[in-house]
Structure 1
């Protein structure tokens, strides 16, 4: 018998979505809301037989979907985006309740971005097959052919945005997809299946498997029938995925964590920089690209701290469904314990608390925005990702010292640099990272590359970079003169 989760008047299937149908499971997992810790219901856990069903369904659907032109696939994908839009309020409330993200941000930003992810890459795919390289000897017709069955694994902090960010180019390329829903926040993945079905996406082209990473995720990644694995999440999980996929030489795209520098030069607009720094507490700090290491010129440190304090004290911590809320809950009790553990160890190592560093009275999974100073470069709190509302503050006196600090971790995802525009841009060029914002934060374009270096990941997403991963690139060589084979030819 099929199971369902009810969030207000929204009915969400708890079952897998395979081959265009809901598929029940032998075992189900409880799902909690981080808002109040209440059980939302149960979702299916993927067994080996479920994994096999999903892969078989995707394999059956692949030849017909791959045979369509990019324009024909675009018709389906535009309808898919339309269906997401029709369910905008459902997606917003569901993800807010399930993952604890801000309802207002879902409603006014994320759902629209999810639609754009699908539409943009469907449009981009139209341009891919027209590329040729004209040389003296031949015309090289460069093709982006679909790779096959793709596994997409997304984290719990932004399920809808990150799922569609990967599904857009994967489906537009002609691949068939299996989305592994995040264990702690699976509900919007299930709603995506409803939207795909309503859009008429052919059975087996898009499938959703739920469950734990150790069972569902590991089973999918290890299967030799998988052509690509796209993962966003933690470094330890990425290592397991890469090791497993390597057994079958399956390419992986890995967008991982960050410990990004937030640089404030002596010439910075201090108030603007402080206001932006307070944004790092958004989503309770559970954002991989947040600038969590504040590196502030020593001459403006006190002024910057007081300006930032005013913005932080004005932040509303509370129920993420309330439009006035700016900082919601941490996803799970285990994550709260992780955050608290980092802070206690940092304090024991000599860190000084400027604000926060304790649970917020609003609820069990709420934590006060925190800033720690008097930290050393090799301290755990500086070197490792906390993934909570915790920032550190260090000062510098000259550019070379700053660059050494900014580049002095094993991560390299993002960064922020505030200061006089030319100077800030020159500093940004020297920071070893996948991307960095100058006098800004969060500006994204789907044509631009996104990804990290070092422990922050492998590969890039966005524009042609997404298609280069999800496609098999083929060179069709057409000679300009009659060709005759010769043993002397090189």
Structure 2
């Protein structure tokens, strides 16, 4: 394995040495070897990055839309040219199987960035209300703090939208999967973006993340990650009345009604729950099945889970890679160990590769809707199956969660749509409706504040001003 070392930070349109010589090792979760490192940034590095972003803001905010769109178009082309390298790096630092890494970890953010390049090129909307002209303006300097599970997509969802809105950005990627963000900085250099509009400071959450969240010259913090960390960031931003956008946890329900296509609903549902080894905030980890088909669904889910091949992410036969870290693996195993439901697939005794942070794809049946399995975000390949007797009961179980990020409903179209409308969640797929990277994405309840992606995502990074005439 060729080492991947990055020794400088991208600040003010140049690669600059960090204030500290300390480095953060990046582990391959399949081989369990450290194969790269990045700088452990400091509060001083954040200060430098914020100053660069603040200095670049007037020029970028006032740039004509066509020029801003052209700049993001260049960034898109430079990033798209690195698609294979993006997939390879994500496979190394996260363990995502290569096929999924190419389609999702590389393909999705490249698609999203193309959309933001188009939106950036469009003049901002203005409207007249009585004697008021209502205009949209950038928020200012954005602090973007991103997670490890979709390390480029979550970056682009923030950076692409903020830049399209005329803001400048200080980005802190996750210290677990930071290397792919450096590929974005490489693309920014190749695209000759105006200096200072995008700045990258790698480092830990308690140091770099905290410095960003509490920085007096950052106008908005956009964060994706755990609900607990989201609360801490909200408190830090509240002290200076800064805006926050939060995309947090999820515990999504996959509701399979009595008249659903059971085979398709179960197979697609298992695939969704196990995507990225279950390390997906939108994963449908609760499968709700009408009791008329419950036993058949349990058998089918168990059989489907058993067909997932674990192994090397770069082996085409691998369908399920390792978890991101030993800590995450042990956390997931803890949920399995404590579970009191009926185990029908996987579990702690199921065979896994000798090396790597693996947990076998696991399915529990007869899960209590109020139990830990059904209430906590496990973030691993663990599926809970719950029965119901009526549409009303299914809705009540699905909504019995402090989260509300995503979900699914299967059944006859009108019936499924009626149930989907009643779910307290930010997105619902009906009968396998495909994910739309240009539709608003975000959560209800403790799943977050605000929306990402498309025009709604861009609007999060803009202020609205009324000019009376």
Fold shared per TM-score above 0.5: yes
Deviation, structure 1 residue 174: 1.2
Which SS does the other structure have where 2:237 is aligned?
Answer: helix
Give yes or no for contact 2:68–2:121 (8 Å, CA) kept in 1. Answer: no
Query: Quick check: 1:460 aligned with 2:451?
Result: yes
Match of 1:309 in 2: 302
Deviation track 1:401-446 (CA, whole Å, cap 9, x = no partner) reads 2111111111111101111111111111111111111111542141
Deviation, structure 1 residue 134: 5.2
CA distance 1:81–1:12, change in 2 (3 Å):
farther
Instruction: Find the structure with the greater CA-based Rg.
Output: 1
Give yes or no for contact 2:306–2:345 (8 Å, CA) kept in 1. Answer: no
Give yes or no for contact 1:293–1:393 (8 Å, CA) kept in 2. Answer: yes
Give yes or no for contact 2:126–2:136 (8 Å, CA) kept in 1. Answer: no
Distance in 1 (CA, whole Å) between partners of 2:213 and 2:141 is 11
CA distance 1:264–1:248, change in 2 (3 Å):
same
- Alpha-carbon RMSD: 1.6
Which SS does the other structure have where 1:46 is aligned?
Answer: coil
Distance in 2 (CA, whole Å) between partners of 1:244 and 1:308 is 43
Distance in 2 (CA, whole Å) between partners of 1:341 and 1:110 is 28
Which SS does the other structure have where 2:352 is aligned?
Answer: coil
Match of 2:250 in 1: 258
**1:45 pairs with 36, 40, 45, which one?**
40
Query: Quick check: 1:426 aligned with 2:418?
Result: yes
Match of 1:373 in 2: 365
TM-score (normalised: structure 1): 0.91
Match of 1:240 in 2: 232
Query: Quick check: 1:289 aligned with 2:282?
Result: yes
Distance in 2 (CA, whole Å) between partners of 1:269 and 1:157 is 31
Query: Quick check: 1:69 aligned with 2:69?
Result: no
**2:24 pairs with 9, 29, 38, which one?**
29
Which SS does the other structure have where 2:324 is aligned?
Answer: coil
Match of 2:291 in 1: 298
Deviation, structure 1 residue 237: 0.5
Distance in 2 (CA, whole Å) between partners of 1:232 and 1:441 is 24
Distance in 2 (CA, whole Å) between partners of 1:360 and 1:100 is 18
Deviation track 1:333-382 (CA, whole Å, cap 9, x = no partner) reads 00011101111111xxx322111112642133011111112322221111
After TM superposition, the structure 1 = structure 2 runs for residues 398-437 of structure 1, keeping only pairs within 5 Å, are 398-437=390-429
**2:344 pairs with 350, 354, 379, which one?**
354
Match of 2:461 in 1: 470
Deviation track 1:72-98 (CA, whole Å, cap 9, x = no partner) reads 111111000000111111111011111
Which SS does the other structure have where 2:206 is aligned?
Answer: helix
Distance in 1 (CA, whole Å) between partners of 2:101 and 2:133 is 42
Deviation track 1:211-261 (CA, whole Å, cap 9, x = no partner) reads 110111001110110011111110011011000011111111101110011
Give yes or no for contact 2:115–2:454 (8 Å, CA) kept in 1. Answer: no
Which SS does the other structure have where 1:159 is aligned?
Answer: coil
Query: Quick check: 1:334 aligned with 2:327?
Result: yes
CA distance 1:219–1:11, change in 2 (3 Å):
same
Which SS does the other structure have where 2:152 is aligned?
Answer: helix
Over 4 Å off, 4+ runs:
none
Deviation, structure 1 residue 18: 1.0
CA distance 1:418–1:328, change in 2 (3 Å):
same
Give yes or no for contact 1:317–1:326 (8 Å, CA) kept in 2. Answer: yes
Q: Unpaired runs of 5+ in structure 1?
A: 1-6, 479-490
TM-score (normalised: structure 2): 0.95
Give yes or no for contact 1:253–1:459 (8 Å, CA) kept in 2. Answer: yes
Match of 2:153 in 1: 161
**2:207 pairs with 215, 222, 227, which one?**
215
CA distance 1:427–1:414, change in 2 (3 Å):
same
